[in-house]
Amino acid sequence: QVQLVESGGGPVQAGGSLRLSCVDSGRTFNNYVMGWFRRAPGKEREFVAAIRWSGPSTYYADSVKGRFTISRDNPKNTVYLQMNSLKPEDTAVYYCAAREYYFSTTWSDYPYWGQGTQVTVSS
């Protein structure tokens, strides 16, 4: 089965950078879509970025375009989210998610989830 574990979160000052990692310790197939979502305090869970396990396609929310980069390392079964120029409004719990085949920005479409990692951006 798919087992996702996030790491790399923590406190950071505005303008700083963090790199989040998501490791699939189970089985991942080449038709999977891997996504990052986040839930800020008092807000709904929102889409951040997604990447296909195979192929070059990536997708980003407008709020993070130009600042965040999603990438993958297939031999390590790992997906990364590089976050630069962080803002206080980026403060949230960040979740790694996976689904088969179809790209989606809707969190309920993803059946596999990690436990989340806290990112706190202070000014």
pLDDT tens digits along 3-27: 899 999 999 999 999 999 999 887 6
pLDDT at 28 > cutoff 80: no
Residue 7: is it exposed, middle or buried by C-beta count within 10 angstroms (0-12/13-18/19+)?
A: middle
pLDDT tens digits along 101-119: 899 999 999 999 999 999 9
pLDDT tens digits along 43-102: 999 999 999 988 889 999 999 999 999 999 988 889 999 999 999 999 999 999 999 989
Phi (first) and psi of residue 22, to 5 degrees: -135, 115
